[in-house]
A and B are shown apart, each in its own frame.
Chain A
Amino acid sequence: MSIISYRQALRDALREEMLRDDDVFLIGEEIGLFEGSYKITAGMLEEFGSRRVRDTPIAEEGFTGAAIGAAMVGLRPVVEIMTINFSLLALDQIVNHAAKIYGMFGGQARVPMVIRTPGGGGQQLGATHSQNIELYYSFVPGMKVVAPSTPADAKALMLAAIRDDDPVLVLENLALYNTTGDVPDDVQPAQIGRAKIARSGADITVVSYSRMATVALQAAEHLAEDGIDAEVIDLMSLRPLDRDTIVESVKKTNCAVILEDDWLTYGIGAEIAATISDGAFDWLDAPVRRVAMAEVPMPYAKSLELAALPSLDDAVNAIRETLDAVARRR
């Protein structure tokens, strides 16, 4: 066990897989000589050479599509899209091709490709560089979308994603890259499609993923001081979605709050709330509450940006208000 950063955990996973399997290669903008816009691939070009660490022109559609075409004949490309915002330029290749090729051709071609890309706001990057649009990919059958919140999960999910024979989008987060945590020395690949109970509790279910899962744990620790025992579910996988873990938890706690960094309307939280309605309606003692980003293009000014992003206080207040509603009903 050692304490390493989320960034280091991702890099370790990439490096281990590249050492293990010559078919694994990295492709993207500025990943080689520049060592990655967020330095996840630092040192990789030097260690593995330009055959396996391929700097591309600024052409998201072109190089993402090229990675798919390489995967179709058996290579295992790991694509870096500098931030999830730029993935929109590759939307046709991801949605119309990567996600469809296995099904559309009756199972004859697999697309064992990983797309690594960070989401996240809070860096004063303005409207086009602060989005959380993982929903777009989570919506599509044929895609797998995972969203680790800790260094250990980042490594385990990256290993799983690279070894998976389907296109997997690994959602990283700008605000998590420098966070640290315990990572076992022999991390095994995670099972894609399973949520984890990050903290077990009896009073309320808090469902979250990625950066907001870390906020959920902070809120739970804070509320524990007041004797509130929150259960925190870290989804880890957005598609497939582990609905059963959510429903079972709500049957135990009878109430739920969802924390998400994306926009509320039609967001990931809407799907979670619908799942709770489908599976645990009769167990609910209060409406399901969602804490999500304000529905605006992200502003640049710090005061406005802070107001738009969901905070620890927002999470704590939503949990308290939901428990108050439960108390009034009982």
Chain B
Amino acid sequence: MSTPKPQAARAQVRRHASGVAAKRKPPVGDEQALAFYRQMVLVRRFEERAARAYTEAKIGGYCHLNLGEEATVAGLTAALRAGDYIYTNYREHGYALARGIAPGRLMAELYGRQDGVSRGWGGSMHMFDVEARFMGGYGIVGGQVPLATGTALAIDYRAGAEAVVCLMGDGTTNIGAFHESLNIAALWGLPIVYVVNNNGLGMGTTVEQSSAEPELYKRAAAYRMASARVDGNDPAAVFEAMRAALASAREGKPYLLETMTGRMKGHSVVDPATYRSREEAEALKAADPVAAYAVKLLDHGVLTDDLIAQVDAEALSTVADAVAFADASPHPNVTTLFDYTYATPVPHDSRRLPGEALYPAAPRPLLSETSA
């Protein structure tokens, strides 16, 4: 992993994005802008450390990272109220962090340990925390979309004031559950914001190759649902767009928000992304949202070089503590294997281990036992 330090990327970002880094003040206050930046750096450092742990074989299975999505993570989660629910897909570590779940519990989940946020049952794709109303990472593309819609239905049923945010990738807009769910949400006026994070690629397939309408926010028109597209590399823009979307949802008008980002690495840790040209990879690196935001905040005097170093040091320290916590957490005890099949215990629930017989081998009964 050789992600450029914010300072190093500064000049490069200026070259590529001189028009973007305008001299006007960001649309949020300095404190909020700094909070976005801290959040983005923490996600960046956490994900880089997760990638390293994967290569060290501390993490197994699939591992999808939010590298390149940090601005959307920070802006989106900052717009949520404490009681709001968030559903995500399998690229969810950053959102879980930003929802305030302890980094150690998230790293422990990646490590498959007892103190993991899902007790070691979920792994990278299935983080969940009921306290944070973080309603899960889901590994089946689009599996979370009907579920999130149902949670919005429950809010409506109880006349609650909360809202639901349902995250998905660009590829998800092509599955049937997307259509069924948006139709239901619009019909019933449910308090939900669907967020399509468009990073241009579903694994290796581009949006243009997979979507007949590649401007994905326009899909909402089929349901007479309000929608917008926003620069997902700008946390303040995402924050403002999410606030508007959530306000709409709370009034019973569901919303579709498309956030435009770039996926800086492969689909997962093990994907070298050879389907991307050198130029594309370079452009993504140049558009690095963390570096770009640092430059912007430096220009606005919100950040200084010292503060950048301090924020980075704090993030690295938090992540190091998370790794230490994960490493120290025990592997789940095998005696807990059958603890989470059913919430309501019932007789004859199978607790057989693979090598065990259903019934012990029986001797042939005496003739007197068998005759009627």
The chain A residues found within 8 Å of chain B, CB to CB, are: 25, 51, 56-57, 59, 61-75, 77, 92-93, 96-97, 101-112, 141-142, 144, 164-166, 191-194, 202-203, 237, 240-244, 247, 253-254, 275, 278-283, 285, 330
Contacts and interface: CB of A to CB of B under 8 A. Distances in A.
Contacts of A70: 150-151, 153-154, 157
Interface pairs A-B: 4 shortest CB-CB: A65-B146, A69-B150, A62-B180, A106-B119
A191 B347 contact: yes
Contacts, number: 186
Interface string B131-166: 000011010100101111111111101000000000
Contacts of B357: 278
A281 B364 CA distance: 8
A57 B183 contact: yes
A106 B120 contact: yes
A55 B38 CA distance: 47
A194 B347 contact: yes
A166 B341 CA distance: 9
Given A105-B121, A254-B372, A73 B154 contact: yes
A282 B155 CA distance: 58
Contact of B122 (A51, A77, A106): A106
B184 A103 contact: no
Given A65-B147, A103-B121, A56 B359 contact: no
21 contacts: A65-B146, A66-B150, A68-B150, A69-B146, A69-B154, A77-B150, A92-B140, A93-B143, A93-B147, A96-B143, A97-B138, A105-B121, A105-B128, A105-B136, A106-B116, A106-B121, A165-B344, A193-B346, A242-B347, A254-B370, A280-B362
A59 B358 contact: no
Given A102-B340, A108-B118, A144-B346, A51 B157 contact: yes
A142 B341 contact: yes
Contacts of B365: 282-283
B231 to A, nearest CB: 30
Contacts of B121: 103-106
A98 B81 CA distance: 27
B151 A73 contact: yes
A97 B143 contact: yes
Interface in B41-59: none
B348 A193 contact: yes
A72 B184 contact: no
A51, A61, A191, A244 pick with most chain B CB within 10 angstroms: A61
Contact of A109 (B128, B177, B187): B128
B342 A102 contact: yes
A144 B120 contact: no
Nearest to A163: B344
A240 B347 contact: yes
Contact of A25 (B149, B157, B183): B157
A63 B151 CA distance: 12
Contact of A93 (B146, B348, B371): B146
Interface in B315-372: 339-344, 346-350, 357-359, 362-365, 369-372
B255 to A, nearest CB: 18
Nearest to B176: A61
B217 interface: no
Contacts of B372: 202-203, 253-254
Contacts of A103: 121, 340-341
Given A61-B176, A166-B342, A75 B154 contact: yes
B230 to A, nearest CB: 26
B194 interface: no
Given A66-B181, A72-B147, A102-B341, 6 more contacts: A67-B150, A105-B122, A109-B128, A242-B347, A242-B348, A243-B348
Contact of B153 (A69, A105, A247): A69
B85 interface: yes
